[in-house]
Structure 1
Amino acid sequence: MSSLELRGITVRYGRFTAVQDVDLLVPEGTVTGLVGGSGSGKSTLGKAVVGLAPRTAGRVLVAGRETDRRRGRGPVQLVFQNPYASLDPRMGIGAAVAEALPGPAAPRLRPFRGTPARARRAARDAEVARYLELVGIDPARAALTPDALSGGQRQRVALARALAARPAVLIADEITSALDVSVQGAVLNLLRRLQRELGFAMLFISHNLAVVRYLSDQVAVLDGGRLVECGPTDRVLRRPAHPTTRTLLSCVPTLAPTEDAS
């Protein structure tokens, strides 16, 4: 297990500062929910961690070591809101998962180094099947392309692909917001189970405070690209210290009592 530490992360696009000097620690084996209003910099921060947004300043450390933003398969993996952002529509889902697997030096594949290509393919196919089964997808469907799956199934494949890279840290960026409510619950329960079983640290980006409360050990709040509050989930959501957090909580819909018309 590994922690994720952000030190002074800043992202600028020309004169516009999207993220300003963010310090954040996601302890190993825990989930941090990242919330904020539209345009607060949540997704930009997540992308900056994995090198998909330009870091003007700051450092990203995993288990105390600085990550190399140029590496294709790093210790941090990002799952997008739209799985089509990470899945090739022309590629079978099994091939997409296989593409993310580490090379033959990985512990589970090491016995197959120096063996015939057929044995290496068999080892890789077994790993692909394992990750598809892990997220509830029948390995027999590995040849299907993403368009043959539902939105929830595509998100499961995107999750399997991210986990196949064996990340120390997972960033989930609004991964259920585009799904039907009935599917959201299944994906969230799957994500919660996998995080607990595999023990990776997770930065969960969402505008849905109910979902954040369900998944997160701590909550961090962004406003205008700055981190304005961070603390244990129960404390932040029950006794918010910053006006931005209080505003976000005031926007959560509630069921108001109605008068009996009969």
Structure 2
Amino acid sequence: MSSLELRGITVRYGRFTAVDDVGLLVPEGTVTGLVGGSGSGKSTLARAVVGLAPVRSGRVLVDGSDVTRGRSPVQLVFQNPYASLDPRMTVGASVAEALSGGAAGRRSPGRERRAARDAEVGRCLELVGLDPSRAVLTPDALSGGQRQRVALARALAARPAVLIADEITSALDVSVQGAVLNLLRRLQRELGFAMLFVSHDLAVVRHLCDRVAVMDGGRLVECGPAERVLAHPEHPVTRELISCVPGLALAEEAS
């Protein structure tokens, strides 16, 4: 198991500071929910961890090792499953690409190597509740929930030390959101990876996360155990977010 630590992460686009000196620890084997309003910087921070946003300063550490500018053992599952999968690639090819480290997967392997690759792709698909026979399909043959499961299988194929899930159910029908979230929590417990779960939905965060970190205006304004933060919020932004979720608001008033 591994931990993720962010030290003084700052992301700037020209003169605009999207993330300002954020420090955050995601302990090994736990789930930290990263919440905040629209434009708070939470998704930008998630992208910065995997090198998809310009880090002006700061460091990303996994188990104490600096991975800011090297190959990261962190995988990101994106919000929109319709955009995150290449429509020209089969499900199996998408998952296999993560196994083989990108372009190397396009080289023709020998028969034994191909069989081993196909077996591992099948294992990853079964992990996320998909029949391995779907490996021959392209994303247009799948539902939104199935596509997001493929995206998750692709991330897990890389055997990440840390997983980041960025609003992964917000583009899905309500009827399948719960199933995907339950799958994610089960996999996190079984495989033991640390996870940063980015969301605007505090009800989901309460169900899924051990810790909660709150962002506003690019800065981290509150962080702590989920039970404490959601029951006894200290920052006005946290209280405002909680007030938008009736069940949480009532629980806070009762406490």
Question: Aligned to 2:122, which of 105, 112, 129?
Answer: 129
SS at match of 2:188: helix
1:206 has 2:199 as partner: yes
Instruction: Give the 5 Å matches for 1:219-238.
Output: 219-238=212-231
**1:141 CA displacement:** 1.2
Gapped runs of 5+ residues in structure 1? 104-115, 256-262
Instruction: Give the 5 Å matches for 1:50-199.
Output: 50-71=50-71, 74-102=72-100, 117-199=110-192
Q: Percent identity?
A: 83
Task: Tell me the residue number matched to 2:27.
Answer: 27
Task: Tell me the residue number matched to 2:13.
Answer: 13
Q: Is the 8 A contact 1:3 1:25 kept in 2?
A: yes
Counterparts of 1:161 and 1:253 in 2: how far apart (Å)?
36
Task: Tell me the residue number matched to 1:113.
Answer: none
Relative distance call for 1:245 and 1:68 in structure 2 (3 A) is closer
**1:102 CA displacement:** 4.2
Paired amino acid for 2:47: K
Q: Is the 8 A contact 1:51 1:70 kept in 2?
A: no
Q: Is the 8 A contact 2:215 2:222 kept in 1?
A: yes
Tell me the alpha carbon deviations over residues 166-199 of structure 1, each in whole angstroms, 9 at most, x when there is no partner. 1000000000011111100000000000000000
Task: Tell me the residue number matched to 1:39.
Answer: 39
Task: Tell me the residue number matched to 1:112.
Answer: none
Task: Tell me the residue number matched to 1:258.
Answer: none
Give the structure-1-normalised TM-score.
0.90
Which piece of structure 1 moves more, 61-70 or 195-204?
61-70
**1:251 CA displacement:** 1.4
What is the root-mean-square deviation of aligned Cα atoms in Å? 1.5
**Which one has a bigger Cα radius of gyration?**
1
Give the structure-2-normalised TM-score.
0.92
Structure richer in helix, relative to its length: 2
Gapped runs of 5+ residues in structure 2? 102-108, 249-255
Counterparts of 1:141 and 1:6 in 2: how far apart (Å)?
38
SS at match of 1:142: helix
Counterparts of 1:149 and 1:135 in 2: how far apart (Å)?
14
**1:254 CA displacement:** 5.2
**1:252 CA displacement:** 1.5
Counterparts of 1:59 and 1:30 in 2: how far apart (Å)?
21
